[in-house]
Amino acid sequence: MHTDQQDNRRKRYSLRRSILDYGMGFTIFMFGVFFLAAKKLGYDFDLEPAFRYSFAFLCIIYGGWRMYRGYKKDYYTD
């Protein structure tokens, strides 16, 4: 009985964490896409293009990694 409760708790935690990773990953990924396309969308930032593109690249990589982590659901190292 105790292990069933523990398994259910782990499954719920894993689901919540996965949803969080998908949501945050998508948000960060879209920020990267926005910074890449900002000039075409009519937004002009006081940033050097190299810095803007570097930041966009990092956002896309990190957002993709967060979504992958949500897909993998490897939160426990038992």
Residue 78 lies in a domain: no
| Number of domains composing the chain | 1
Q: Is residue 29 part of a domain?
A: yes
The boundaries of the domain holding residue 23 are 9-72
* Structural domain includes residue 3: no
∠ CA 55-42-31, rounded to 5°: 30
Q: Is residue 25 part of a domain?
A: yes
pLDDT tens-digit profile, the chain (78 residues): 577 888 888 888 888 999 999 999 999 999 999 999 998 999 888 889 899 999 999 999 999 999 999 988 877 665
Whether pTM > 0.85 for this model: the answer is no
The four Cα atoms 55, 56, 62, 64 give a dihedral, to 10 degrees, of -170
